[in-house]
């Protein structure tokens, strides 16, 4: 029998929700891995060639570092999620933990050199979101005297909404940055819940500026925390500029009366920012304004919502913006880093941005103008939302490549391990509204497919520029969105609204959101399989090169389910890395395996069981000994097994 409620809870787990150093945005990482995505454009591509399809099966664990920083929320401590991609730079491995401690490790042995503890206040605070830290950023001061303290710095944001600078060689705070090495990011925001705003992704460092964004809690209220993106002087911490994502000439109505310097209720940006050092542009993925599933009170404030926005690093001025979802009432915010590439034969060889979305759409844009490299069609989408809502009549659909997420769900396609639970799923689907992937939330309940977690999520894509191949993992799950009139919602027992059933107050609107998983009485998803996929796209032709189910039910269900149903795929969280030798490494799946696939064919060439699920993005570097390492963080989740490990692999020493 299925593990109790495990599969029914899968979908809810995935809600989330330069100085002298420069990284070419179109080239893969070399000996080091100096920024989150390997390069400033987050291609997740390594040019190291030691590990090949011929010898990858010989990989073995070189070392493991255990921080011990994890919690399952059974006590007063908030739950954690290990999502970090470490850096390999300056002769060290740098990474942060869910409790926001930063470690510097010896890259050959994993031995701790130093660690910094910010003494997190929010570790035991309120809030429904797991604590996490996706990464840190590194910067070298070109004006510093050799050996000067903090000439090399680590920057990162914490759940206390602080931007912190520490010495990359010693782990001590940089006293001349901000106030004793810290900047309060909630300053000038007005009254904000302690868990309503904080950074979760690493800053972008370019031209001696540290640019940082922040996560804003979903579905709380109309006038939610500001979504401002700010740049600070990397030496002093002085504010250089702030981009408040409000429409040009927009005038706030009564619901948006200012609480502070920055506009509350505007779209936020919580995922990874990328950059083009040569052109002086940074690329910001944005979310939608709050509350997420009702936009009747927005009055145009979502102008920059669910978009890719290019900003000038010197001024913060908008260079261009492209919106992937108009008037987003599905929580289909842009979750992934805008990935930069330039490949002959793709878009005429123009410098480009690949933006993946929760919709399973990938938009290929000109990096300098934001104009699509290939036609994007504005297609009519379902109308007839709840009273008070005004939906966009059309939505953008890419044609190169075509949408990668499944787009059909019906009583006839309902999944079931047995005829009985298949009947149960078909019965549920028949009662709900489903008119395609942009079916709006309704009073009677609408199917959300893709799920609010995707589709694709913050792990983003990996691009092999030598082969012209893009590879991405996806989750293919459905949920139910129902808007309940506020007066009617008073009768709902909030104490019983626990996962997988969620209730969001959406204060300032006429409605309360009730969101549930679309699952059978056995707890299994009703959406068609596979529930997780890996897809490789030929960027020149736009055609799918290969697609395979990704992930298994191991860790989530017991025999005979895992034995009989081996090709269901499973929800996954994280991303992958490609290499110059034609390998694609990825953990991400719920079953805890770490894989190497052939970039060309999708054939699995190697896998190993991690101590815990690897819901992160792996990286690769060359150690002091000359050996190539592949490194992945593994922390599992509250529905499988939890920990906080960093695991390094290498070939056997010669």
Centre a 10 Å sphere on the Cβ of residue 449 and count the other Cβ atoms it contains: 25
d(C-alpha 546, C-alpha 327), whole Å: 33
Collapsed DSSP state (helix, strand, coil) of residue 464:
strand
Task: Please tell me the distance from the alpha carbon of residue 177 to that of residue 171, in angstroms, as a whole number.
Answer: 14
Q: How far is CA 595 from CA 458, 548, 599, 644, in A?
A: 19, 13, 12, 19
Q: Which residue out of 141, 160, 328, 331 is catalytically annotated?
A: 331
β-partners of residue 2 are 557
- Looking at the DSSP bridge assignments, the partners of residue 483 are 513
Looking at residue 519, the DSSP 8-state letter turns out to be B
Helix or strand holding residue 220 (H, E) = none
Coil, helix or strand at residue 288? coil
Burial 411-422 (b: 16+ CB within 10 A, else e): beebbbbeeebb
331 is catalytic: yes
Q: Which two tokens stand for residue 209?
A: 């500026």
Backbone phi, psi, residue 513, to 5°: -95, 130
Dihedral sign of CA atoms 284, 290, 295, 300 in order = negative
Q: Which of 488, 486, 481 is nearest to 512 (CA)?
A: 486
What string of H, E and C letters represents the secondary structure of 383-448? CCCCCCCCCCCEEEEECCCCCCCCCCCCHHHCCCCCHHHHHHHHHHHHHCECCCCCCCCECCCEEE
Beta 583-586 vs 576-579: how paired, if at all? antiparallel
Task: Tell me, rounded to whole angstroms, the distance of Cα 581 from its chain centroid.
Answer: 26
Residues 532, 18: Cα–Cα separation, whole Å: 38
Give the CA distances from residue 168 to residues 29, 165, 233, in Å, rounded to whole numbers and listed in that order: 20, 9, 17
Could you give the CA distance from residue 629 to residue 631 in angstroms, rounded to a whole number?
A: 6
Q: How many residues does the chain have?
A: 654
- Please name the residue that has the structure tokens 């010693």: 170
Partners of residue 546 on adjacent β-strands: 536
Q: Which residues contact 216 (CB under 8 A, 6 or more apart)?
A: 196, 197, 224, 225, 226, 227, 268, 270, 287, 290
- Smallest CA-to-CA distance from 539 within 357, 343, 396 is with 343
From first CA to last CA, the distance across the chain in angstroms is 47
C-alpha 533/C-alpha 572 separation (Å) is: 9
Q: How far is CA 29 from CA 25, 33, 311, 570, in A?
A: 10, 6, 24, 30
Residues that are catalytic: 331
């Amino acid at each position: 029998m299925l593990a109790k409620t495990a599969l029914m809870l899968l979908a809810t787990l995935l809600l989330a929700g330069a100085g002298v150093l420069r990284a070419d945005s179109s080239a893969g990482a070399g000996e080091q891995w100096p920024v989150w995505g390997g390069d400033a454009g987050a291609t997740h591509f390594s040019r190291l060639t030691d590990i090949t399809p011929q010898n990858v099966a010989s990989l073995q664990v070189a070392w493991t570092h255990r921080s011990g920083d994890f919690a399952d929320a059974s006590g007063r401590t908030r739950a954690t999620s290990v999502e970090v991609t470490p850096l390999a730079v300056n002769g060290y491995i740098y990474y942060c933990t869910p409790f926001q401690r930063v470690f510097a490790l010896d890259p050959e042995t994993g031995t701790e050199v130093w660690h910094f503890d910010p003494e997190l206040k929010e570790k035991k605070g309120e809030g429904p979101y797991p604590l996490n830290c996706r990464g840190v950023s590194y910067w070298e001061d070109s004006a510093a005297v050799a050996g000067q303290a903090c000439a090399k710095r680590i920057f990162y944001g914490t759940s206390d909404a602080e931007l912190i600078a520490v010495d990359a060689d010693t782990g001590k705070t940089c006293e001349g940055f901000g106030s004793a090495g810290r900047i309060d990011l909630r300053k000038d925001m007005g009254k904000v819940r302690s868990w309503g705003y904080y950074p979760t992704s690493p800053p972008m460092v370019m031209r001696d500026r540290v640019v940082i964004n922040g996560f804003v809690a979903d579905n709380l209220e109309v006038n939610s925390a500001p979504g401002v993106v700010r740049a600070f002087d990397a030496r002093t911490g002085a504010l250089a500029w702030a981009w408040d994502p409000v429409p040009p000439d927009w005038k706030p109505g009564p619901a948006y009366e200012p609480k502070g310097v920055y506009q509350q209720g505007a779209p936020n940006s919580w995922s990874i920012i990328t950059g083009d050092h040569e052109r002086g542009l940074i690329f910001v993925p944005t979310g939608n304004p709050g509350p997420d599933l009702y936009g009747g009170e927005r009055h145009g404030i979502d102008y920059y919502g669910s978009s890719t926005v290019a900003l000038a690093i010197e001024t913060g001025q908008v260079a261009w913006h492209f919106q992937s979802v108009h008037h987003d009432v599905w929580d289909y915010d842009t979750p992934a880093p805008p990935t930069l590439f330039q490949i002959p034969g793709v878009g005429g060889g123009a410098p480009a941005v690949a933006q993946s979305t929760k919709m399973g759409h990938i938009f290929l844009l000109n990096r300098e103008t934001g104009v699509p490299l290939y036609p994007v069609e504005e297609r009519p989408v379902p109308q007839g939302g709840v009273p008070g809502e005004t939906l966009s009549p059309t939505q953008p659909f890419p044609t190169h490549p075509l949408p990668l997420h499944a787009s059909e769900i019906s009583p006839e396609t309902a999944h079931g391990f047995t005829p009985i639970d298949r009947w149960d799923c078909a019965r549920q689907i028949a009662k709900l509204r489903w008119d395609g992937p942009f079916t709006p939330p309704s009073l009677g309940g609408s199917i959300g497919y893709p799920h609010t977690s995707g589709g694709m999520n913050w792990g983003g894509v990996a691009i092999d520029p030598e082969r012209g191949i893009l590879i991405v993992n996806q989750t293919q799950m459905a949920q139910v969105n129902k808007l309940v009139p506020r007066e009617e919602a008073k009768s709902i027992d909030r104490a019983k609204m626990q996962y997988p059933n969620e209730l969001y107050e959406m204060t300032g609107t006429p409605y309360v959101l009730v969101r549930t998983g679309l699952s059978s009485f056995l707890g299994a998803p009703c959406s068609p399989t596979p529930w997780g996929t890996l897809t490789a796209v030929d960027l020149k032709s736009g055609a799918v090169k290969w697609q395979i189910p990704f992930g298994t039910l191991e860790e989530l269900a017991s025999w005979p389910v895992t034995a009989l149903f081996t090709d269901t795929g499973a929800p996954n969280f994280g991303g992958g890395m490609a290499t110059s030798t034609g390998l694609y490494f990825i953990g991400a799946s719920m079953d805890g395996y770490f894989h190497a696939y052939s970039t060309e064919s999708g054939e699995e060439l190697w896998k190993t069981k991690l101590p815990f699920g690897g819901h992160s993005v792996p990286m690769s570097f060359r150690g002091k000994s000359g050996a190539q390492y592949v490194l992945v963080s593994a922390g599992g989740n509250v529905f499988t097994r939890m920990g906080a490990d960093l695991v390094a692999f290498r070939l056997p020493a010669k």
